[in-house]
Structure 1
Amino acid sequence: MSPLTKIAFAAVLAALAGGASAADLGKSLEVLGSVGPRGAGNEAAAAAWQEVARSDAAELPMLLAALDRANPLAANWIRTAIDAICERTLREGRSLPQTSLEQFVLETAHAPKGRRLAYEWLLQVDARAEERIVPQFLHDPSLELRRDAVARLVAQAESAGGPKETIELLKTALDAARDRDQVDTIAKSLKKRAIQVDLVRHDGFVVDWWVIGPFDNTGGKGFRAEYAPEKGFDPQAEHPGKHGPVRWRRFSSDSPEGQVDLNKALAEEMEQEKEREIVGYAAAEFHSAEPLAVQIRTASVNALKIWLNGELVDEHEVYHGGSVFDQYKAAAILQPGRNVILVKACQNAQSQDWAEVLSFQLRVCDEIGTAVHSQQKPGG
């Protein structure tokens, strides 16, 4: 056998043993990434999956990175291929590329699902990885990884040497917590220790408003009607309401949950207490130092419309269907300087006691729920 033949033969054996080349692997990943609903692309994906699953563990960073742009269906194919590679590698008595996996876990630019998968496999081969890595997740953009770090701090607080250390650990955990169950649990622990917790500020609820109403929602017509407040916010303006002229007035909610109670805010203008078939508006000025992508998150048992600077960003014509924290999420862009958030809340004709509520919560935050606060106080 000539030297060139030996080299070619060795290359073939290496390819068979180690899986596809980087170029071929990239093509197979493209096939997996093209799967769609109703089985679209599944036949080609099944063949590509076999190629990917035969890859060497050294290719794991490339496969994990493919999860960054994968749709949910494609992610399932890629994730199971990664699992197959890791399981085979460990079954054969070899180790996974620990350094590469750890680097991937800590690269926050990657998608959370890929980082989490890398972390879970790293734990299989590095018993000390959790102790070393989890503290670095405390301010991570991945909610799932951040949750681990918050839970670790809470556990440390429970076993701390003294009350002062416990409180400091709980405060740090609360500042970092974004999942509602963790926030509520930590706040409860702090309150038990006589520590005041301002969840309105932690969550970024807007509680200082201008309000006006009531307007007419007889037969539900008010949700689609364009009443005067929707045409521009002028706090000095007077508009025709359901029962006569109405004017804007200031209202600040003192609810610890950030609830804005329009029954309370508009009580003087209502013909009867907790009137039905009405529309109420609330407007808030929100100042930003720069253009900023945010989410406007709301919750209400009433039908809602939300505008930012005159642009409709969210609407839900649902009455008394239940309400949960961060029920609705809408992407929006704050402009530099003054912004105006306008809320339209509609009450229907239901007469039951439980249907008397006319209120909402609204907060401004980033994509993982970190509060974004106005850079200027109301009236400032």
Structure 2
Amino acid sequence: MTGRCVVSWIAAVLIFAGPLQAKADEIDDHLQIIAACGPGGQGSAAAKQAAQELINSGMEVLPQLLEAMDTDNILAANWYRTIYEQVTRRELKKTSPQFPLHSLRDYVQDAGHQGRSRRLVLGLLDRLDPNFRDRFVATQIADAEFRNDAITALLKQGDEFQQAEKFAAAARVYETAFRAARESGLIQTTAAKLKAVGREVSIIDHMGLVIDWHVLGPFDAPGKSGFDTVFPPEETVDLQATYPGQNGRDISWKRFRTTDKLGNVNLVTAIAPVEEAVGYAYTEIFSPRDQDVQLRCGADDNLSVWVNGKKVFARRQWLNGTRLDRFTAAVHLESGKNTVLVKICQGPQHKNPAVGNNWSMQLRFCDKDGASIGTRSALPQDSEANAE
């Protein structure tokens, strides 16, 4: 290519690049206007106008729009979704719609994008490339957004093996699904399927549930005073001590190991059926290494948690019920033994006497995805421990 040709080629590129860049900048400006909207109608009029400009622009907004959809601003996200739906719907009505299929597939497969946006694009691909979903989902067992879809697909495959009496193959598929499962329903389902083909697994170990405790109570706590009242175990845990409890009765620590499949400790059984009281649960767990983990817990009525003597969680909330993983807190575990103390309050009887006065707790340690981090009980074995 001669020098004159090179100059001419560069000039031609610049002629086309200028308007394209200007258009991209214009799109970005409109997206930024929408990104600035907030509660109380802040920026809503400007956002509405910017959204209409983007809708009118057409498919060229799609690449920048998809990137903008990775936002925690719910109001902006709703505007972006509206633009996306109108632009794509209009394109789909065309005789020969033109979509950047490769870019759309890449977007869905990129776990760095928000899950709701990836699912939105996957829904579009269902129309444009119907075979993509099955191929994609089958590979996403480690993807937090599509993990459950992948596990469901594995369970279907395992069921087909089982129906064909290929039990070893079914067991291998079910085991893969079980190891990947993080949601309690799927964990229980895969464990049951494994049991049906002769393989036993531990849901407790898989989820990092704490089931072995020393329990103490009830301390008297009139009304809802228990949360703020400091009782002796919060100052020193002495498993040999005896204390004055509710109704003048002496109370002392006793061992209790729950047999609930999801680690729920029924304190009505473990301690006593009470009202306006406080109970404590204490345990020791072994961690294979120093690690930063998640404490996930729940209680009826409310609870406070100390790990290695440091209060790491407290929530004043009455009549809330125990639900798996209701609360989460970041916790550091030391290599070796770690102590865990839990305070569980019990409030007055519900205004409706037909409503039972439940009293319970549940606690586990796991990683950010909900998987076991290798902890186990460090309490001495006690074959005489009470159990539900």
Please say whether Structure 1 and Structure 2 have the same fold, judged by a TM-score greater than 0.5.
Answer: yes
Q: Deviations over 1:305-356 (max 9, x none)?
A: 334442252314323x544433x22232324435443221122343968635
Partner of 1:350: 349
Give, as a single letter, the amino acid of the residue that structure 2 aligns with 1:306: V
Q: Do the aligned partners of 1:232 and 1:310 also contact (CA within 8 Å) in 2?
A: no
**2:171 aligned with 1:173, yes or no?**
no
CA, structure 1 residues 231+353, in 2 after alignment: closer, same or farther (shift >3 Å)? Answer: farther
Gapped regions of structure 1 (runs ≥ 5):
267-272
Partner of 1:303: 302
Of 76, 79, 82 in structure 1, the residue corresponding to residue 78 of structure 2 is: 76
Gapped regions of structure 2 (runs ≥ 5):
1-7, 382-388
Partner of 1:25: 27
Partner of 2:149: 148
CA, structure 1 residues 67+230, in 2 after alignment: closer, same or farther (shift >3 Å)? Answer: farther
SS in 2 for 1:333: strand
CA, structure 1 residues 356+46, in 2 after alignment: closer, same or farther (shift >3 Å)? Answer: closer
Q: 1:50 Cα shift?
A: 2.2
Of 125, 128, 133 in structure 2, the residue corresponding to residue 125 of structure 1 is: 128
Q: How high is the TM-score relative to the length of structure 1? A: 0.81
Q: Deviations over 1:239-274 (max 9, x none)?
A: 5544466544443322222122334434xxxxxx53
Distance across 2 between alignment mates of 1:102 and 1:261 = 48
Correspondence 1:1-380 to 2 at 5 A: 21-55=23-57, 57=59, 60-92=62-94, 93-142=96-145, 145-160=146-161, 161=164, 162-233=166-237, 235=239, 240-242=244-246, 243=248, 246-266=251-271, 274-288=273-287, 289-298=289-298, 300-308=299-307, 309-319=309-319, 321-326=320-325, 328-337=326-335, 339-350=338-349, 355=356, 357-374=358-375, 377-378=378-379
The share of aligned pairs that are identical, in percent, is 31
Q: Do the aligned partners of 1:238 and 1:245 also contact (CA within 8 Å) in 2?
A: yes
Q: Do the aligned partners of 1:58 and 1:97 also contact (CA within 8 Å) in 2?
A: no
Q: Do the aligned partners of 1:230 and 1:310 also contact (CA within 8 Å) in 2?
A: no
Give, as a single letter, the amino acid of the residue that structure 2 aligns with 1:251: F
Distance across 2 between alignment mates of 1:39 and 1:253 = 51
Q: 1:53 Cα shift?
A: 2.9
Q: 1:140 Cα shift?
A: 0.8
CA, structure 1 residues 189+245, in 2 after alignment: closer, same or farther (shift >3 Å)? Answer: same
Q: How high is the TM-score relative to the length of structure 2? A: 0.79
SS in 2 for 1:218: coil
Q: 1:74 Cα shift?
A: 1.3
Give, as a single letter, the amino acid of the residue that structure 1 aligns with 2:53: E
Distance across 2 between alignment mates of 1:297 and 1:42 = 39
Partner of 2:4: none
Distance across 2 between alignment mates of 1:57 and 1:291 = 47
Q: Deviations over 1:47-100 (max 9, x none)?
A: 221233345646534322222233222111112212223223333323322222
Distance across 2 between alignment mates of 1:59 and 1:295 = 43
Distance across 1 between alignment mates of 2:269 and 2:187 = 28
Q: 1:291 Cα shift?
A: 4.2
CA-based RMSD of the aligned residues comes to 3.4
Q: 1:152 Cα shift?
A: 1.0
Question: How many residue pairs align between the two structures?
Answer: 362
SS in 1 for 2:223: helix
Q: Do the aligned partners of 1:20 and 1:51 also contact (CA within 8 Å) in 2?
A: no
Distance across 2 between alignment mates of 1:359 and 1:193 = 34
Give, as a single letter, the amino acid of the residue that structure 1 aligns with 2:77: A
CA, structure 1 residues 86+241, in 2 after alignment: closer, same or farther (shift >3 Å)? Answer: same
CA, structure 1 residues 331+26, in 2 after alignment: closer, same or farther (shift >3 Å)? Answer: farther
Q: Deviations over 1:208-240 (max 9, x none)?
A: 223222211233322221112223545566655
Q: 1:149 Cα shift?
A: 0.9
Give, as a single letter, the amino acid of the residue that structure 1 aligns with 2:29: K
